[in-house]
A and B are shown apart, each in its own frame.
Chain A
Amino acid sequence: MDYEVSRKVWESLVPVQFTLQSGGPLGDPLPYYTMLPRFTYLALALPKALTSFNRREDGVTIHLDKVWLELNGVPAKMYVPIGVIYDQAKIEAESILEISVKTTPPPANFQMVDQETMKAMFMQNIKQADYLKTEAAVTQAMMKDELPQLWRSVVNNNFDEFWAMNRKLMETDKEFKYVPIRVYPGDDKPFKQSQIKTKKPDGSYITVGEAVGELLQPSSYSTPSSSESSTPTSTSECTILKERRLISHGIVIPYHTPLIFAAKNLSYPDNFVHIVIASN
């Protein structure tokens, strides 16, 4: 583990604004502003925002199960880390992530996630990641209370407690069989995930650019720029490098970063490397 990189990644924050749009007779209260860690979830942040809104004595109490969240006109995914949502928002630097809290009936594609559900999803992600890395050997050997401990350290923003347990998942006896990585293409499409090894057949490390290129290969064929390349391998790589930026934790990851390094130091607490594809 690279302590310095991990620490800076853990301490990254994003500005968020919650705006209540209930249309009450006395008007809506002022928005709620806060700085949230990148690794947290909207499922954890929403209760605090509602508490702030309910402080007004003359307003109607807003309950958690009566609201839904909207972001840029589409329902927000409450189970995705805030950092990933922020990277996908295509916003300029120094801008605030604006989330609308609505009290109208929610649309069909919105899924309310409370804290208990979020906890279960978090632990499921860790097990899935471990399955890719060690075929779930580490998580199966854990004590009953250790996975909930990871969740508690995420909720309480406790770096040392988290890494005291997460070290088992990152420093295994063998090399990772596959690397847990999810790539979020633009235009609000679902993320892509497949079995990506850490090394090439010739023994050299696979880079992040290569992994993303492998994950995005079908889309490369569909793009018009793919017909311009003369050599398939070198042409495809150069094309991606020219046209797209790999964003993770708010920064552009260099193409030639070894994938194993990214898996061990740039992962989110759920042990996945979330990379957002952004066009230039």
Chain B
Amino acid sequence: MAEAELLKIRLEILRRLSMKERQQKNVKSMLMNYLQLDEQLQQSRRSRSISVNGEASSGSTNDQLAIMKEEMANVYRMKSKNDQDLIDANRKLADSESRFHLVQSQRDKLKKEVGVMTEKMRLLEEEVAELKDTNCAINNERVALVATCSFLTEKKKQLENERFQLMNKIRDLQEKSAELMNAEIVLQEERAQLRIREQIARATADLNLGDEKAVPTCASPDDDEFMMTDVLPSEVKFKMTAHEGEVRDVEWMSDDMFATAGSDAKVRVWRVSQNKIDASKVSTLTGCLGPINRLDYDSQRQVILASSNDKTCRLWNVESQRLLSTFSGHTDKVASARLFQSHNVVSGSADRTIKQWDIGSMRCLRSYLVGSTVFDIVTKCGSSQCSFISSHFDKKVRFWDARTAESMHSVELGQKVSSLDTSLDGLQVLASSQDDTLSLIDVRTYGIIHLYSAEQYKTSCDSTRAIFSSTGEFVLAGSSNSSVYIWNTKTTKLEKVVKTAREDSNQIMSLAWNPSGRGLLACDRQKTCTLWR
């Protein structure tokens, strides 16, 4: 019963609620439409008005829709345009940003460069300041130098004046020197004439004495001082040390005086004692700068000529020990030099030339181009005073006339010819060659007259010497085993072999036979000079 009543009440309530809803339906729809119209008005932004006519509202809506569609089209167009503009703007922005970054980086680089340039400018300004200081200093120095220059110019003028005066003095002194030379020559000639007269007088006296004593001399062999023939040496009188090295040449100047030349660049003059047991040094002639190879002596003028490895020939006065002349012009060592004619010198050199010199002016008069090394030269040969003979490396002996540039004749031997010697009469020349033979050549016919050799005779150096005895009776040569071999000139028979006491192995480098006929000087490589009688 209660349930049925509750249902009835519920249905009644629902009925009343529905009736209430229906009553409000008109007002509700009206107000809802009003709200829509209000919204449309707000959207279209028109003046508010209450529209009751639905059809008019619908027509207006259609027009509005058309207008709005058109506006939407325009808006879409503008939107796309704006989008494109936005894209373009974004791209431009990106470009601008990248360009900005680029410019910024460039600016940074330029700032760095500016910094570097500023630093460089500062350094350069410092350099400029330093250069200005240096310039001031140099200007000061220049002023000082200008003053010094003017001072030195004045001094130069003074010195030129002094030089002019000194040149005048030199000219005067040269004139005096020439006068002195002339006086010297005159004195030498007078001295020579006096010596000749003395020799003639002595010879006459000797002859007289010789004639008187000839028979007693034969009866008494001890007294042999006055014999006029060559005597073979039989014993050693003395041995002495002549030089500090090799004794390359020796030359008798008189019966009791001789000169030696050594590799120590000195020429020494010696005197043999009366009892012939030693020799004492008289003087030393210096001036050469290298070993001396050959000597030549002129007894009339008392001068000695030396050729040296220092490419020069020098001439000394023996008594005054003064160097008279120096002949220089060869380009290699001078092997030999000889006094020639009355005022000339002839020299042969390893530079393959022969030169002729004037003693007075010390000038080279002529050069003979041979083409082969010259070993020795001899003058005072032949029928004319203009002749000289030379020996060479190319095994030839050449005969020259000073008046022509070419040799007149040449004789070829077996080996290179190391030394030459002329006979007393000048008609024969003795040549020593490296094939261990001696050749005797006739100057007039250029023929070989004799050959001299021995079984043990050996030549071992280019300066081996062979000489005539004082009268030409014997020819002799030094050997490598410290022996001297003596042959008879005419018969070519080996007369004697002179040996040193110790049988040392020194090479005999030079030989000289005393003009008196008794006395042989032999010099070797070991500073030693030996006298045999």
Number of interface residues of A (CB under 8 A): 30
Would you give the shortest CB distance from A199 to chain B, in whole angstroms? 12
Residues of chain B contacted by A250 (CB below 8 angstroms): 17, 20
In-complex Cβ contact of B17 among A55, A249, A258 (8 A): A249
In the complex, whether A137 has a CB less than 8 A from a CB of chain B is no
Given the contacts A15-B28, A34-B31, A254 and B9 also touching, CB distance less than 8 Å? yes
Q: Is the CB of B18 within 8 A of A8?
A: yes
Kindly state the separation between the CA atoms of A215 and B158 in the bound complex, as whole angstroms: 162
Kindly state the separation between the CA atoms of A8 and B14 in the bound complex, as whole angstroms: 8
Given the contacts A8-B18, A30-B48, A257 and B27 also touching, CB distance less than 8 Å? no
Kindly state the separation between the CA atoms of A44 and B18 in the bound complex, as whole angstroms: 27
Q: Is the CB of B31 within 8 A of A253?
A: no
Kindly state the separation between the CA atoms of A258 and B48 in the bound complex, as whole angstroms: 50
Residues of chain A contacted by B31 (CB below 8 angstroms): 15, 33-35
Kindly state the separation between the CA atoms of A252 and B24 in the bound complex, as whole angstroms: 16
In the complex, whether B118 has a CB less than 8 A from a CB of chain A is no
Interface membership of chain A positions 24-59, coded 1 if the CB is closer than 8 angstroms to chain B and 0 otherwise: 000000100111000000000000000010010000
Interface membership of chain A positions 172-206, coded 1 if the CB is closer than 8 angstroms to chain B and 0 otherwise: 00000000000000000000000000000000010
In-complex Cβ contact of B9 among A35, A94, A256 (8 A): A256
Given the contacts A15-B27, A35-B31, A256-B9, A5 and B16 also touching, CB distance less than 8 Å? no
In-complex Cβ contact of A8 among B5, B9, B21, B28 (8 A): B21
Would you give the shortest CB distance from A57 to chain B, in whole angstroms? 9
Given the contacts A13-B24, A15-B27, A254 and B6 also touching, CB distance less than 8 Å? no
Would you give the shortest CB distance from B49 to chain A, in whole angstroms? 9
User: Of A251, A252, A256, A266, which is in contact with the most chain B CB atoms at under 10 Å from its CB?
Assistant: A251
In the complex, whether A2 has a CB less than 8 A from a CB of chain B is yes
Q: Is the CB of A96 within 8 A of B13?
A: no
Given the contacts A8-B21, A250-B20, A258 and B9 also touching, CB distance less than 8 Å? yes
Would you give the shortest CB distance from A35 to chain B, in whole angstroms? 5
Q: Is the CB of B17 within 8 A of A8?
A: yes
In the complex, whether A108 has a CB less than 8 A from a CB of chain B is no
Q: Is the CB of B26 within 8 A of A35?
A: no
Residue of B nearest to A96 (CB): B27
Residues of chain A contacted by B16 (CB below 8 angstroms): 251-252
In the complex, whether B149 has a CB less than 8 A from a CB of chain A is no
Q: Is the CB of B5 within 8 A of A35?
A: no
Interface membership of chain A positions 228-268, coded 1 if the CB is closer than 8 angstroms to chain B and 0 otherwise: 00000000000000000000011111101110010000100
In-complex Cβ contact of A256 among B5, B18, B32, B42 (8 A): B5
Would you give the shortest CB distance from A56 to chain B, in whole angstroms? 9
Residue of A nearest to B17 (CB): A8
Kindly state the separation between the CA atoms of A52 and B35 in the bound complex, as whole angstroms: 11
Q: Is the CB of B17 within 8 A of A261?
A: no
In the complex, whether A141 has a CB less than 8 A from a CB of chain B is no
Residues of chain B contacted by A94 (CB below 8 angstroms): 23-24, 26-27
Q: Is the CB of B17 within 8 A of A251?
A: yes
Residues of chain A contacted by B83 (CB below 8 angstroms): none
In the complex, whether A4 has a CB less than 8 A from a CB of chain B is yes
Interface residues of B (CB under 8 A from A): 2, 5-6, 9-10, 12-14, 16-21, 23-24, 26-28, 31-32, 34-35, 38, 42, 48
Interface residues of A (CB under 8 A from B): 2, 4-5, 8-9, 12-15, 30, 33-35, 52, 55, 93-94, 96, 205, 249-254, 256-258, 261, 266
Q: List 14 A-B contacts (CB under 8 A).
A: A8-B14, A13-B28, A15-B27, A30-B48, A33-B34, A35-B28, A93-B23, A249-B17, A250-B17, A251-B16, A251-B17, A254-B12, A254-B13, A257-B9
List of 3 A-B pairs having minimum Cβ-Cβ separation, nearest first: A251-B16, A8-B17, A257-B9
Extra pairs beyond A94-B26, A252-B16 (7, CB < 8 Å): A13-B28, A52-B38, A94-B23, A250-B17, A250-B20, A254-B13, A257-B9
